[in-house]
Amino acid sequence: MANMIEINGYQAVVQYDPDIDMFRGEFVNLNGGADFYAKDVEGLRKEGEISLKVFLDMVREDGVEARKRHSDN
């Protein structure tokens, strides 16, 4: 079972990384990678918002859709 967090309408998987003693979040269903790290849930939300904003700004500049399209085929 994966731990999920929602930030500004986007879902991210969250896992604990014992090597760095931090939580790592990674947004799912995006047309690219956007991850973030923090020591606690409050920090995850803050860092997630920053990471998501950077990602969305980049895809907007490139004219790419942020979310992956799922095919029914």
Q: What is the pLDDT of residue 68?
A: 84
- pLDDT exceeds 90 at position 1: no
The span from the CA of 17 to the CA of 62, in Å, is 32
Q: How is residue 51 annotated by DSSP?
A: H
H/E stretch holding 53: helix 41-62
Paired strand residues for 43: none
pLDDT for position 63: 86
Q: Is the pLDDT of residue 73 over 50?
A: no
Domain edges within the chain: 3-62
Using alpha carbons, select from 31, 36, 27 the residue that is nearest to residue 6.
27
Averaged pLDDT of the chain? 91
Residues in the chain: 73
Q: Assign 53 a pLDDT band (cuts: 50, 70, 90).
A: very high
